[in-house]
Amino acid sequence: MESNLSTLCKRALLLDYEGLEKYDAVFLSCVFSFTKVNEAILKMPNVFYGGTGIFPDGGEDLPFEVEHSCPDYTLYDPYVNRELDLGRRRSVLSDYLDYSIGFTTRGCFRKCSFCVNKKYDKVHFHAHVNEFYDPSRPFIYLWDDNFLAFPRWREVLEELQETGRPFQFRQGLDIRLMTDEKARVLSRCRYHGDFIFAFDHVEDKELIEKKLLVWRTWADKGTRLYVLSAYDSQDEHDIESVFVRIATLMKYDCIPYIMRYESYKDSYWRPLYVNIARWCNQPQFFKKKSFREFCEANQAYHKNKETMCSAYKAMTDFESRFPDIAAKYFDLRFEEVSILRRFGRPFFNTPSADEMNRQLSVWSQFASGELDRQSALTAYYGKRLDIVCGSMLRESGKLGGGGVCRRPILCH
Ligand code: SF4
């Protein structure tokens, strides 16, 4: 199909709407409804269009042959060259140059009210990795909507691993569907960059904490969660819900990424939303400073010492009106709250034979009931009763599995 298409037609990625009439067929796709597309263009006889930005359900599915053609990555070249000529850095254009891009699954069952993805009731198989994999590109990124809801997720991960290329799921993974098995397999993959999940609703806090605990049992890798803000409301309740989620994520050594729903623009607290996002979405600040310290640092750099910068003004304004919320959250520091930073395991994923023997000895005492709760806690915090090591020992048959809770300390 690919070679036939190449020989039969000339293809180009158009960078503007000029001269559309000279093409036999123009395919136009629009993802977001806030992107305005000229109606006159949509009425042109040679223009075929679709996407959730135009049709609530995305419109008609593309023909099978189109969906399952290997992407022609050279289509990006004119755009990339133009941007490089304009002085943009190559790293900014890396998505177009370094990645094979595709979907292995499509669809999602959740139908979140703010999401355009409502066409399907479940996650279904879409394509094998080989269909869009270009061996000349060093990385793979995936647009799957809700990969962890796909029953055959393990097979897809095996296909991805076989390429030898680091990969990443760009849309975020559904942490609510995390299991021990998924966490174990995913954490051992050649993953590219941070793992990304989502924590959209504060009502899910209990479930998300449970799942983060599962995740952190297996993975100490960089982990971010999208935090939706200004969606349910744009008042102090929403601000508090954002901070509750930030505090929860800090605890599990995860970085929040604040997503602002567009209604934040109409809120009295607009500057606060902006500055919470500036703080969280730049991990170099988030990892080192509390929200108060971040705002104070902004004020220190503020040129006019007679006035307040927007960050400091927004923080002090909120604090004067809602001191209880501010007292709870404005001084939290990632390094002090993170469990991994306080009790992390330096030998994670690569325990030596000596370490495993040490662990076996303590785990055997724990499994036989010789350790009381206090001793078990002491051993856990002293990193002599490591959960992952315990599991590896059990898998290897060195440690009897009968009735041993693998998270004896944290969950009770
Ligand atoms: S879980 Fe994600 S993909 Fe699924 S409906 Fe919600 S936001 Fe959309």
Walk along the chain (412 residues) in steps of 10 and give the mean pLDDT of each run: 52 91 93 87 94 86 89 94 96 97 96 87 96 97 97 98 97 94 93 96 96 88 96 97 97 95 96 98 96 97 90 98 98 88 59 82 87 84 78 78 41 34
CA of 31 to the centre of ligand 1 (A): 15
Backbone torsion region of residue 195, taken as left when φ is above 0, otherwise alpha when ψ lies between -120 and 50, otherwise beta: beta
Q: Ligand 1 within 6 A of 232 CB?
A: no
Choosing from 174, 225, 261 the residue with most ligand 1 atoms within 8 A of its CB, the one to mutate for a pocket test is 174
- On whether the pTM is more than 0.75, the answer is yes
Distance 399 CA to ligand 1 centre (A): 40
- Check pocket membership of 321 for ligand 1, CB cut-off 6 A: no
| CA 201 to centroid of ligand 1, rounded, Å | 12
Give the tokens for residue 400: 């009897």
Q: How many Å lie between the centroid of ligand 1 and the Cα of residue 13?
A: 29
Task: Check pocket membership of 253 for ligand 1, CB cut-off 6 A.
Answer: no
Tokens at 103, concatenated = 């979907």
Q: Quote the ligand 1 centre to 171 CA distance (angstroms).
A: 9
Q: Report the greatest alpha carbon distance in the chain.
A: 82
Predicted confidence at residue 411, as pLDDT, reads: 36
- CA nearest ligand 1 atom 6, residue: 112
pLDDT computed for residue 21 by the predictor: 94
CA of residue 113 to ligand 1 center, whole Å:
9
pLDDT at position 280 is 98
Is the beta carbon of 110 within 6 A of some atom in ligand 1?
yes
108 lines ligand 1 (CB under 6 A): yes
Reading the block at residue 286, the tokens are 């988030």
pLDDT of residue 58: 81
Q: Atom 8 in ligand 1: which residue has the minimum CA distance?
A: 115
Atom of ligand 1 nearest to the CA of 145: 3
Ligand 1 centre distance from Cα of residue 112 (Å)? 6
